Amino acid sequence: MVLTVPAQAALQVYEFTASVSGLGDVRALTWAQSVSGRQEGSVISLGDRIVGRFAYDTTAKSTFNSGEWFPNPDTNTYFYSQAPSPANFFTFTILPSGHTVRVGDANAPVSSMSFTDSKPNIANMTDVLSFRSEVFNGESNSLNFTGSTANWVSNGGLPGHLSMADMGSASLHHDYYKPGGGRILLNATITSLNEIAITPVPEPGTWAMLLAGLTILGFSARRKRN
């Protein structure tokens, strides 16, 4: 699949699959094999398949990092803009229930998100990259990746490429309320990650110059024919 974005954008888009690995029923104080989904009558079970997509812009600048407060920290976490953006989002659907979550764009039930990267002082782990939505009506969502071989973080810069081969772990977390009440904590293990090719297209100003050039060429051609 190929997507088009403005030429100046540095958009990274990935599709992923995951498998439900944990279902916690907070009201019952137990881990369950199956639970009610967010939609009335739906059921989510251990092992259910999840399909999703997420994107981020590598040109985003961190608005704050924990190292500003603690000199020479073992771990420095960078925070980025929480504004809704077509460049910063993730969405996923749990099958076969059809339970769907959209985070980040203007039409999403959760209309903002933030993401952090950090360099933890943990053995066999180089970096952590997390995409998190703010809690909305009791719901929260996150994608979490830990790096085992690659340094993703460079002064707060976001990674230009993600690969499962570089990861120590990859997971999804989704907390929500059932229709009849009671909170569910859903954990899933990401099983595949595929980068989507991006095709740059000219910015509006470039299009204007291109159209002007084509107009001049057309006028010149008509003069020659006359």
Q: What is the pLDDT along the chain (226 residues), one digit of tens a residue?
A: 334 444 445 788 999 999 999 999 999 999 999 999 988 889 999 999 999 999 888 888 787 777 666 666 667 788 887 666 667 788 899 999 999 888 776 555 555 667 777 777 777 777 888 888 866 667 888 999 988 776 666 667 788 888 898 888 999 999 999 888 889 999 999 999 999 987 655 555 544 554 555 455 454 444 555 5
Quick check: pTM over 0.85?
A: no
Domain of residue 77, residue span: 2-225
Alpha-carbon span 66 to 118, nearest angstrom:
9
CB count in 10 Å sphere of residue 49: 14
Is the Cα dihedral 41, 44, 49, 54 positive or negative? positive
The total domain count for the chain is 1
Asked whether 92 and 18 are in contact (CB, 8 A), the reply is yes
